[in-house]
């Protein structure tokens, strides 16, 4: 058992005791260390002003990821290297990213600048990146600037971030890797007492025993949602169990049958495997949060929270995903669609927790499409999320799985539309109308700040028609904002929603 958290900062070991269950990394930096270069902006992981870099060993390599320190629990940096804007200058000289930002006028009021610099620092150390404006804008989508404008910031990134890393962090990389290996251990962490504690078990058995003893504890994986409970709802969470050190829960197993993904696998870690499973799913992945959110947020956490507007559950439900759950005695498999019982209610028994999920790989006779509709293209919550899996034999749909988010109190399948699509012909849009109409019986959406009920229904119907058009061979590039992910195998057809009906 260990009663401290340990990490590396500026090449030195830092060991902290008396870490509270809701202590955030941002508060530690600003209030304890008095390192105020890291700014407090939105307090919810949206603006990027609080961005810091976290160094970890990934398959033996030292990699750096940006994270939002405002919603990162302090305990979550155990066993890592922490890099803040104060650490970048070396021997009185600015870091190449800082120098480029200064020389190319990438700062005006300066409040957002440290966050941009830290995001670009992680781009500077990223491997295999091609020098392009697109690469930069996708990397900094989680950083907002309201006065400088993005053009000089992008120019600074293009100037500084795409050559081989040549800074103090690259020079001492071998030393840092050795230190991180020394920090890795299999001891459980417990700081506090039975009434108020921060714990981080190192094994599934340890988690099961602790959670059985404290079923009122809050389980935390990436804290991209729980962090907001602390910063926005001002909740006091007296018992927190962080899952990030549990051996086996971060596994990814890619097989011909599909993907086995542990509950603590981050979106960033799963990105390559998800792209191989489905280009559409890969496109969705790139629009979940930001680089900072995807580096911390976990797929298992998104599911376990049971949000009706989560991006991943509809797509995973359409693909037929199975959830793994466990307690001290038993483990069980559950179809993901059956996990969501009602708003804020999931089929999770006392002391039971999610350990992972299995996502089947579409077979050659299946066509998968998914679409996210939101007010902003980047880093926004879905108004409607639609996912579609069609099994097609000889141009005839023999089976359909359709799931939506944002249309009901839970992510849910459209059973009526699915039944109506059986025996529909992809070549004949007139056979699609019954399914498109059936959506009006499958869902009764609500109006809220993101969309009206009528908008949601019309959008859901249009997305089904869009998926069918693409499945029929229509060129996706004519139907999407981004270039086609799948090359068409026949000429585009002029059919529309009205023609289908």
Query: What are the residue ranges of helices labelled H in 319-405?
Result: 336-339
Structure tokens at 341: 């019982």
- Tracing tokens 């270069």 back to the chain, one arrives at 37
pLDDT score, position 485: 45
Q: What is the pLDDT of residues 462-479, one digit of tens each?
A: 999 999 999 998 766 666
**Domains in the chain: ranges and CATH:** 23-183 (3.10.20.30), 252-360 (3.30.465.10), 366-500 (3.30.390.50)
Q: What is the pLDDT of residues 150-173, one digit of tens each?
A: 999 999 999 999 999 999 999 999
Q: What are phi and psi of 280, to 5 degrees?
A: -65, -40
Share of the chain above pLDDT 90, in %: 86
- CA–CA distance from 243 to each of 250, 264, 448, 479 (Å)? 10, 7, 33, 41
Is 68 in contact with 293 (CB distance < 8 Å)? yes
Is 110 in contact with 75 (CB distance < 8 Å)? no
pLDDT score, position 494: 38
Tell me what the pLDDT averaged over the chain comes to: 92
Q: What is the pLDDT of residues 428-445, one digit of tens each?
A: 999 999 999 999 999 999
Asked whether residue 488 carries a pLDDT value surpassing 60, the answer given is: no
Q: What is the pLDDT of residues 334-353, one digit of tens each?
A: 999 999 999 889 999 989 99
pLDDT score, position 310: 82
Q: What is the pLDDT of residues 261-294, one digit of tens each?
A: 999 999 999 999 999 999 999 999 999 999 999 9
Structure tokens at 300: 């298992």
How many Å separate Cα 111 from the centre of its chain?
Answer: 26
pTM of the model: 0.91
Asked whether residue 493 carries a pLDDT value surpassing 80, the answer given is: no
pLDDT score, position 495: 44
Identify which has the larger pLDDT, 494 or 185.
185
Beta-bridged to residue 373, according to DSSP, are 384
Is 418 in contact with 441 (CB distance < 8 Å)? no
pLDDT score, position 490: 38
d(CA 454, CA 356) in angstroms, rounded, equals 36
Asked whether residue 260 carries a pLDDT value surpassing 90, the answer given is: yes
Give the DSSP H/E element, type plus range, for residue 52. Answer: strand 51-58
Q: What is the pLDDT of residues 63-90, one digit of tens each?
A: 999 999 999 999 999 999 999 999 999 9
d(CA 261, CA 320) in angstroms, rounded, equals 14
Structure tokens at 161: 């971030």
Identify which has the larger pLDDT, 309 or 396.
396
pLDDT score, position 392: 96
Nearest to 143 by CA among 271, 41, 269, 35: 41
Q: How confident is the model at residue 489 (pLDDT cuts 50, 70, 90)?
A: very low
pLDDT score, position 414: 97
Q: What is the pLDDT of residues 190-236, one digit of tens each?
A: 999 999 999 999 999 999 999 999 999 999 999 999 999 999 999 99
Share of the chain above pLDDT 70, in %: 95
pLDDT score, position 237: 97
pLDDT score, position 162: 95
pLDDT score, position 308: 73
pLDDT score, position 344: 84
Give the DSSP H/E element, type plus range, for residue 230. Answer: helix 226-231
Q: What is the pLDDT of residues 15-38, one digit of tens each?
A: 999 999 999 999 999 999 999 999
Asked whether residue 487 carries a pLDDT value surpassing 90, the answer given is: no
Q: Is 297 exposed, middle or buried (0-12, 13-18, 19+ CB in 10 A)?
A: buried
pLDDT score, position 478: 63
Question: Which of 303-312, 390-399, 403-412 has the least mean pLDDT?
Answer: 303-312
3-class DSSP state for residue 233? coil
Name, in order, each residue with C-beta under 8 angstroms of 255's C-beta and a sequence gap of 6 or more: none
Is 13 in contact with 56 (CB distance < 8 Å)? no
Average pLDDT for 85-102: 96
- Tracing tokens 């028994």 back to the chain, one arrives at 349
pLDDT score, position 449: 87
């Amino acid at each position: 058992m260990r009663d401290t958290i340990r990490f590396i900062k500026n090449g030195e070991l830092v060991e902290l005791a008396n870490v509270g269950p809701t202590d955030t990394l941002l508060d530690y930096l600003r209030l304890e260390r008095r390192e105020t270069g890291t700014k407090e902006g939105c307090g919810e992981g949206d603006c990027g002003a609080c961005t810091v870099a976290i160094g970890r060993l990934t398959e033996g390599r030292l990699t750096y990821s940006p994270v939002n320190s405002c919603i990162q629990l302090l305990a979550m940096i155990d066993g890592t290297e922490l890099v803040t804007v104060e650490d970048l200058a070396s021997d009185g000289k600015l870091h190449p990213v800082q120098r480029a930002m200064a020389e190319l006028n990438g700062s005006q009021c300066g409040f957002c600048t440290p966050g941009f610099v830290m995001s670009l620092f992680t781009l500077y150390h990223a491997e295999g990146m091609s020098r392009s404006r697109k690469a930069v804008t996708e990397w900094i989508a989680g950083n907002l600037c309201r006065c400088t404008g993005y053009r000089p910031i992008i120019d600074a990134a293009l100037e500084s971030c795409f050559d081989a890393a040549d800074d103090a962090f690259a020079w001492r990389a071998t030393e840092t890797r050795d230190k991180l290996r020394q920090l890795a251990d299999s001891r459980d962490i417990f700081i506090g007492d039975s009434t108020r504690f921060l714990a981080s078990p190192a094994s599934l058995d340890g988690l099961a025993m602790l959670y059985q003893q404290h079923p009122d504890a809050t389980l935390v994986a990436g804290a991209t949602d729980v962090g907001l409970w602390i910063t926005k709802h001002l909740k006091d969470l007296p018992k927190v169990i962080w899952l990030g050190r549990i051996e086996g829960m971060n596994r990814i197993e890619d097989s011909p049958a599909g993907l086995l993904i542990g509950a603590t696998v981050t979106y960033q870690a799963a990105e390559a495997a998800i792209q191989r499973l489905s280009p559409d799913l890969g496109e969705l992945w790139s629009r979940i949060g930001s680089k900072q959110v995807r580096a911390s947020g976990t797929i298992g956490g998104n599911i376990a929270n049971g949000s009706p507007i989560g991006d991943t559950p509809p797509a995973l439900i359409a693909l037929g995903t199975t959830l793994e759950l466990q307690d001290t005695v038993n483990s069980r498999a559950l179809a993901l669609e059956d996990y969501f019982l009602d708003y804020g209610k999931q089929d999770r028994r006392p002391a039971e927790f999610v350990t992972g999920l299995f996502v089947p790989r579409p077979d050659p006779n299946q066509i998968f499409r998914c679409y996210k509709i939101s007010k902003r293209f980047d880093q926004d919550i879905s108004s409607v999320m639609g996912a579609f899996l069609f099994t097609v034999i000889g141009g005839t749909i023999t089976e359909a799985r359709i799931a939506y988010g944002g249309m009901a109190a839970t992510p849910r399948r459209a059973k009526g539309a699915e039944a109506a699509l059986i025996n529909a012909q992809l070549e004949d849009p007139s056979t699609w109308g019954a399914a498109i109409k059936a959506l009006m019986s499958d869902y009764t959406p609500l109006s809220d700040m993101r969309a009206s009920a009528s908008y949601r229904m019309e959008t859901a119907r249009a997305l089904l028609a869009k998926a069918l058009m693409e499945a029929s061979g229509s060129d996706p590039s004519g139907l999407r904002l981004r270039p086609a992910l799948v090359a068409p195998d026949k000429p585009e057809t002029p059919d529309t929603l009205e023609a289908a009906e």
